[in-house]
Amino acid sequence: MRLDTASDGSIQVRDRFDFLRAGALVASALFLGMAAMQLLYGLDQVRAVWASLALALGCAALAGAIEDSAFQFDAVRREVRWSKRRLVGGRSGTIPFAEVENLVLEMRSSRSDSGLSRTDDYRVFLVTRSITMPLGSSNLDLSRARDAVAIPLLALLGKSNRALVKDSIRYWVSRHDRITASALAVGALHLDSKAAARLIEEMARSLSMEGRELQRRD
């Protein structure tokens, strides 16, 4: 993921996977060629042919699934212009700054094959009144996701970053995604599992009370 700041204060966030996509397409072509050679010179190797075709299709599917992202936070027009492109097709749009509610963090953990080590990967999500989407697919460490991406963008949007992590946890609780909320509490706030569970329960109760209060007002 690359973040560039223009002289007028605008910030562009780009997340491109050109080399990965090209590598997957090349691998797909190689496996197809291997299958063709097996058909020509080894007609009795049916399983090998099917294996090569399956690998070719898998690589082609990977190339098609890889998504590039671009977000232009325009400081002059006060809008976010975004696009997400794949090998075939894409989507894009424009969001006024006024419709951006927040930027939140997401954390995903993965363990090594031996299970002895754990890797925590973070992404930054743009939350608007109508849609929530990641700024990219790249896995970032906490300092880069928080300090290099989220905080500068929140400053441009005119929003506070004082409680970025807790606001992020609260957002995932409001979306009924306690797994993500708990992972973020443990990974970013360094809480143990019991303390994380208590924090999430407190946030859930607070959100429930706010919801009932809004219903009474209506």
CA atoms of 217 and 186, how far apart (whole Å): 36
Q: List the single range of 69-83, 131-145, 201-215 with lowest mean pLDDT.
A: 201-215
Is it the case that residue 13 has pLDDT exceeding 60? yes
140 or 49, which is more confident: 140
CA atoms of 28 and 48, how far apart (whole Å): 15
- pTM beyond 0.95, yes or no: no
Band of residue 43 on the pLDDT scale cut at 50, 70, 90: low
Structural domain spans, the chain = 18-65, 97-217
Residue 141: name the closest of 167, 118, 120, 111 by CA.
Answer: 120
78 or 38, which is more confident: 78
Residue 51: name the closest of 67, 39, 68 by CA.
Answer: 39
Is it the case that residue 17 has pLDDT exceeding 70? yes
> What average pLDDT score do residues 72-90 get?
93
Is it the case that residue 172 has pLDDT exceeding 70? yes
> What average pLDDT score do residues 52-61 get?
92
> What average pLDDT score do residues 46-71 get?
89
- pLDDT value of position 50: 81
- pLDDT value of position 76: 95
Q: Are 72 and 135 in contact (CB under 8 A)?
A: no
Specify which residues 59 forms β-bridges with: none
123-160 pLDDT, tens digit each: 999 999 889 999 988 889 999 999 999 999 999 999 98
> What average pLDDT score do residues 182-192 get?
91
How many angstroms separate the Cα of 61 from the Cα of each of 42, 67, 86, 165, 200?
Answer: 27, 12, 11, 35, 38
- pLDDT value of position 1: 87
